[in-house]
Chains A and B, each alone.
Chain A
């Protein structure tokens, strides 16, 4: 048995982010403080200039954990010094299928997020921080609000924190069920009370963000990395990970494995195969058919890529992306056409409607997949799926539309034979086992006709 850093097998002696696994009740203020909590915040306020905080985060090489992987310290350094007010916005919209890491941080270790967001605010000179959580995080939001209230009560937030003269207010803002609001400019629109649709960039949020003021937007996990970096320094952080992908990262493992869950690992140290082993291996030891490294948005990787290292560069070289590191494992029993339809359905549902290629492309693509699943598909339909995706590629307003082409193009690339076999097997209109699902979604009529959904 290989010794892994991992969360569920308890061989990582100390987590950097998922500290709730090591320290019971670290969500409580007293427990967090007893375990070094808010030490970084005190250190920054009493002995560091804002620029020094930016410098240490820059030197650490911490990259944005929301998906894009942009260096956090560099992002902070773009904030102009002479424009007021400025804002920090925390992206806790976590809606990528297969992603549940921010959920655990907010629920299990909320003070580390609060401390990280406060450090970010101090570094860029913002006095207000909004934490945007997806609406479904109503429960975790209550945990986080209690933590914020406790931080205020102990003088860690509010006016003139620790006598430093620095003021910081922190508010939670709940979304209401829209994947697109994880896109940073759509999130800002949503926070401003507009429809959650993306905006043209430039201007980038660092120049004109919330209320057209300079704004840093960072993912929950990104900011949770900041307190240990500020406290222990950039070199300490760089002991984990690789030169270009430093630090630890939370890997969400879901799908056909025995122990799905969050696994915090140093970047670049382990392979996808080892990650699956840490998650208890596949159910009944079945062979892996494919892996989605970043939920529905990432091109699927076939089993031949299982020895790819877990970092930004290696996954890109393998033809996919690390993104939010939400690994959905598909074993040999999974029907790829069915899985691709699920993902296309997701994007069709979540398309915000702003731009035509995405709105119409996802609509027609789902129609084609529905036809296949209902047993009425032909090879022409398969080719048409490829064409729809090609028509969408590089033509959508934001990345959602581009992501939507991933499940289509990558499954066609690696598993075209499965599409052909699917048609051979089901193309004669016989029931194919998806009846309940298709009736539910109004693709085929049930005994009582097509259901109108509200």
Chain B
């Protein structure tokens, strides 16, 4: 339960907003839930709804509206590669094709071992350093195919420490 395990974090989040405006905390709380559960499960949605005092359906609507909240389980490492126009002018499409081949999945899929999810995303404000990707929200700039392979190989070797990195 989020409220038992992350009581201090929840308090810190709620303290940013006026007491009668708890609903403002919905997005930070969903990030917290995602950290804890790996994705915004129905249970997570219900818990967040209880904390801010609104209907779970409304929280579910928020989850569906934003791309960074996951409605389904995702890989331990979520790799978001930008293939928007400025990046594509610098080879992002070819780069995504390379990522797909390296991981053996299409963009939008998760590897069978649950380790990697590959997504293509819209502009992530780093067009000057394309091809650019984020792995669990950490930026990787000026990527080459070789660097990507090294990154993935290193992450593949890492043993799970029980902590969800999202």
Interface, chain A (partner B; CB < 8 A): 94-100, 102-103, 134-139, 171, 173-179, 190-196, 211, 252-256, 260-262, 292, 295-296, 326, 328-330, 334, 339, 342-343, 346, 349-350, 352, 436-437, 439-440, 446, 451-454
Given contact pairs A175-B27, A195-B61, A453 touches B108 in the complex (Cβ within 8 A): yes
Residues of B with C-beta under 8 A to A136 = 68, 80, 121, 124-125, 134, 137
Partner of A135, one of B62, B68, B120: B68
Q: How many A-B residue pairs have CB under 8 A?
A: 161
Residue B155, interface by CB 8 Å: no
Partner of A192, one of B23, B28, B122: B23
Residues of A with C-beta under 8 A to B107 = 440, 453
Q: Give the Cβ gap from A187 to chain B, nearest Cβ, in Å.
A: 12
Contact, CB under 8 Å: A328 / B31: no
Provide the bound-state CA to CA distance between A194 and B24, in Å.
8
Contact, CB under 8 Å: B84 / A342: yes
Residue B79, interface by CB 8 Å: no
Residues of B with C-beta under 8 A to A193 = 21, 23-27, 52, 62
Given contact pairs A135-B66, A176-B27, A253 touches B85 in the complex (Cβ within 8 A): no
Contact with A along B61-75 (1 / 0, CB 8 A): 110011111111010
Contact, CB under 8 Å: A211 / B128: no
Q: List 7 A-B contacts (CB under 8 A).
A: A100-B127, A136-B125, A177-B66, A192-B24, A254-B89, A346-B85, A454-B71
Given contact pairs A98-B127, A451-B109, A196 touches B28 in the complex (Cβ within 8 A): no
Contact, CB under 8 Å: A171 / B16: yes
Partner of B30, one of A103, A171, A176, A296: A176
Residues of B with C-beta under 8 A to A191 = 24
Provide the bound-state CA to CA distance between A261 and B128, in Å.
5
Provide the bound-state CA to CA distance between A453 and B18, in Å.
38
Residues of A with C-beta under 8 A to B83 = 437
Q: Give the Cβ gap from A400 to chain B, nearest Cβ, in Å.
A: 13
Contact, CB under 8 Å: B122 / A174: no
Provide the bound-state CA to CA distance between A212 and B80, in Å.
36
* Identity of the chain A residue whose Cβ is nearest the Cβ of B96 in the assembled complex: A440
Residues of A with C-beta under 8 A to B138 = 138-139
Partner of B122, one of A99, A179, A255: A179
Q: Which 6 A-B pairs have the closest CB atoms?
A: A453-B108, A193-B23, A176-B66, A177-B67, A254-B127, A260-B128
Contact, CB under 8 Å: A454 / B72: yes
Q: Give the Cβ gap from A284 to chain B, nearest Cβ, in Å.
A: 14
Contact, CB under 8 Å: B126 / A177: no
Contact, CB under 8 Å: A97 / B127: yes
Contact, CB under 8 Å: A440 / B106: yes
